[in-house]
């Protein structure tokens, strides 16, 4: 009975949150993204945890990547950083920022309660092509502490303006990987390289300055970025690097086409855990 009441409460919270979210959609996008610099936080264990959380976002491969400094901490199956997708330490609007993340979990997804810990580990298994971070680990605590910090002052149960990915218009014609290859050559290859393998860091010597978009070191087939609509939306509002949703370079059709091209390339298979979540 108690579990049923909790579930009913969560459903109501999500429903109310969505309603309020539509009201808040007229709020300026940058109202909640002007987050204080964690480097300016005072001393203390709580602030140390927040600082570590940001460092994990920016320097993920150093701590938990495939070639992490500590071999026992190699939870990811590649050397991508969270910031490779969640731009500007997870603060850039419509680049799946973390600003309202803490306030909107737990949430109901497909009639199941999805906790923040489980959501983070979903990214570990899909985008990082790895395994779960231990729920009680300092790394998990630090990530959640950082999400809570950057979401200070945001309303509970509401996805504020700029969160997630912005819906993209339908393409005029079906997405075409052959056209996308031309878009990639013109707008993407300069950074991500012709072979799509990006650019390795020189210092610190683990991870990427520019992430790979396909191949063994990229996200796996279960990742959100392996869905054409998700990738097209992200690309339209954030790529080439340096633009924002206010200053797009690619047309809607070009975004769909280059997304189709990237997804047409090989990616690691989804893990069994990921496959079960997709069904």
pLDDT at 77 over 70: yes
Predicted local distance difference test score (pLDDT) of residue 36: 78
For 84-118, write each residue's pLDDT tens digit. 999 999 999 999 999 999 999 999 888 889 999 99
Predicted local distance difference test score (pLDDT) of residue 98: 96
CA distance 256 to 55: 33
Tokens, residue 22 = 């539509």
29 — pLDDT class (breaks 50, 70, 90): low
Predicted local distance difference test score (pLDDT) of residue 19: 36
* Mean pLDDT, rounded, for 268-276: 69
Sheet strands (E) in the chain: 107-109, 112-114, 199-200, 208-210
Local structure of 279: helix, strand or coil: coil
Q: Partners of 210 in the beta sheet?
A: 199
pLDDT at 82 over 90: yes
202 — pLDDT class (breaks 50, 70, 90): confident
Predicted local distance difference test score (pLDDT) of residue 90: 96
Predicted local distance difference test score (pLDDT) of residue 203: 74
Predicted local distance difference test score (pLDDT) of residue 24: 39
| CA distance readout (Å), 64 to 138, 151, 172, 254 | 12, 24, 42, 35
Least confident of 144-158, 188-202, 206-220: 144-158
More confident residue, 275 or 33: 33
pTM for the predicted model, two decimal places: 0.86
* Sequence-ordered list of residues with C-beta below 8 angstroms from that of 251, at least 6 positions apart, any chain: none
* Mean pLDDT, rounded, for 12-37: 48
| CA distance readout (Å), 2 to 7, 9, 246 | 9, 11, 46
Average pLDDT, the chain: 87
pLDDT at 27 over 80: no
CA distance 270 to 221: 5
| Backbone φ and ψ of 44, nearest 5° | 135, 155
* Mean pLDDT, rounded, for 225-244: 97
| Backbone φ and ψ of 218, nearest 5° | -100, -175
pLDDT at 166 over 70: yes
Structural domains of the chain ordered from first start? 2-150 (1.10.760.10), 177-278 (1.10.760.10)
Residue in 262, 208, 192, 202 with CA at minimum distance from that of residue 78: 208
């Amino acid at each position: 009975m108690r579990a049923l009441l909790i579930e009913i409460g969560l459903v109501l919270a999500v429903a109310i949150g969505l309603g309020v979210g539509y009201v808040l959609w007229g709020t300026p996008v940058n109202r909640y993204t002007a987050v204080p610099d964690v480097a300016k936080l005072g001393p203390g264990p709580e602030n140390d945890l927040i600082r570590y959380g940001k460092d994990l976002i920016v320097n993920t491969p150093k701590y938990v990547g495939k070639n992490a400094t500590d071999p026992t901490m190699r939870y990811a199956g590649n050397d991508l950083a969270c910031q490779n997708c969640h731009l500007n330490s997870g603060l850039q609007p419509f680049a799946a920022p973390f600003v309202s993340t803490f306030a909107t979990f737990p949430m109901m997804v497909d009639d199941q309660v999805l906790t923040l810990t489980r959501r983070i580990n979903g990214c570990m298994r899909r985008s990082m092509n790895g395994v779960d971070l231990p729920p009680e680990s300092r790394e998990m605590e630090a990530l959640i502490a950082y999400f809570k910090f950057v979401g200070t002052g945001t309303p509970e149960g509401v996805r504020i303006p700029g969160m997630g990915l912005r819906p993209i218009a339908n393409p005029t014609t079906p997405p075409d990987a052959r056209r996308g290859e031309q878009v990639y050559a013109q707008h993407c290859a300069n950074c991500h390289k012709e072979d799509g393998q990006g650019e390795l860091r020189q210092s610190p010597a683990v991870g990427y300055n520019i992430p790979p978009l396909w191949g063994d070191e990229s996200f796996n087939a279960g990742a959100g970025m392996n869905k054409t609509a998700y990738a097209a939306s992200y690309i339209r509002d954030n790529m080439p690097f340096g633009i924002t949703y206010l200053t797009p370079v690619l047309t809607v059709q070009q975004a769909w086409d280059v997304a189709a091209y990237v997804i047409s390339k090989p990616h690691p298979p989804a893990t069994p855990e990921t496959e079960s979540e997709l069904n």
